[in-house]
Amino acid sequence: MITAIRAIVFYLGYIFALIFTSCVSTPLSFFLPFKTKAWMITRFNWFVLLWLRITCGIRTEVEGLENLPKGQPMVILSNHQSEWETIYLQLVAQPMSTVLKRELLKIPFFGWGLKALNPIAVDRGKPAAAMKQVLKQGKARLTEGMSVLVFPEGTRTQPGTRGNHKKGGAMLATNSGVPILPVAHNGGEHWTSSPLQKKSGTIRVIFGPLIQTEGRHVNDVHAEVTQWLESQVDRISELPVPAREETAITPSSDGSKTPS
């Protein structure tokens, strides 16, 4: 009961901050440079994380901050468990563009702020077209000096289970010759799928060492990122670790064998 009341108080503050930020930033977004606009909009993210700590007792513990490059565009690949990481990771690097489902842009207030942040909004019902869009628009964003945030699982995965990691993010980084910053967290164990179940405790976040992609085959890069993400999520999870499937070995185009 207390947990539910705290969650309700949290969402009251969340909704107020969302409406206030959208009403202030949306008109100004037509006149402000992108970096200023992004800073203004992400004050909402900063408030939500602070309010989450005050109302629900959910803190954040970060490991590997030294791995964050400064002033360098990169592809950020993270596991996806909840809304929490979509809020937190917007504060990691700016300027940044996020790959997301286009339906989110239609949500009043929330979608207005997202649209102003120049995302890559894809139609998940058309995976082939979505992949082409990510590669084309993602490369353009990277060329402009923006980092690109991708969730390889494509959708939220319940904590304690494994998702299917797609190659789009690794392919974008490899084709563009930029490094990958892998990020693992257990956010969904505290920001649960039930709105009234915000479990107090500490969300752990790990920023891994940059994974270089230049001159490498996308299969090798994808396998390295996937292995790192799964192993680190297992390490910090407070839930039983799911059994690992056997990794198949398939030949790359250059004749070498890589996990698939």
pLDDT in tens, 111-155: 999 999 999 999 989 999 999 999 999 999 999 999 999 999 999
Instruction: Tell whether the model's pLDDT for residue 249 goes beyond 60.
Output: no
What share of the chain in percent tops pLDDT 90? 83
Instruction: Give residue-wise pLDDT tens across range 190-201.
Output: 999 999 999 999
The fourth-level CATH superfamily of domain 58-259 is Glycerol-3-phosphate (1)-acyltransferase (3.40.1130.10)
Residues 116-142 as b or e (16 or more Cβ within 10 Å = b)? bbbbbbbeeeeeeebbebbbebbbebb
Cis bond before residue 27 (omega within 30° of 0): no
C-alpha 191: how far from chain center:
15
Cross-strand partners of 201: 58
Tell me the pLDDT of the chain averaged across its residues.
92
The helix, strand and coil proportions of the chain, stated in percent and rounded to the nearest 5, come to: 45, 15, 35
Look up residue 62 and give its two tokens: 């970060």
- Do 78 and 185 form a contact (C-beta atoms < 8 A)? yes
Which residue, among 167, 181, 154, has the nearest Cα to 73 in the 3D structure? 181
Distance CA 205, CA 66 (A): 13
Confidence of residue 168 (pLDDT cuts 50, 70, 90): very high
DSSP 8-state assignment for residue 214: T
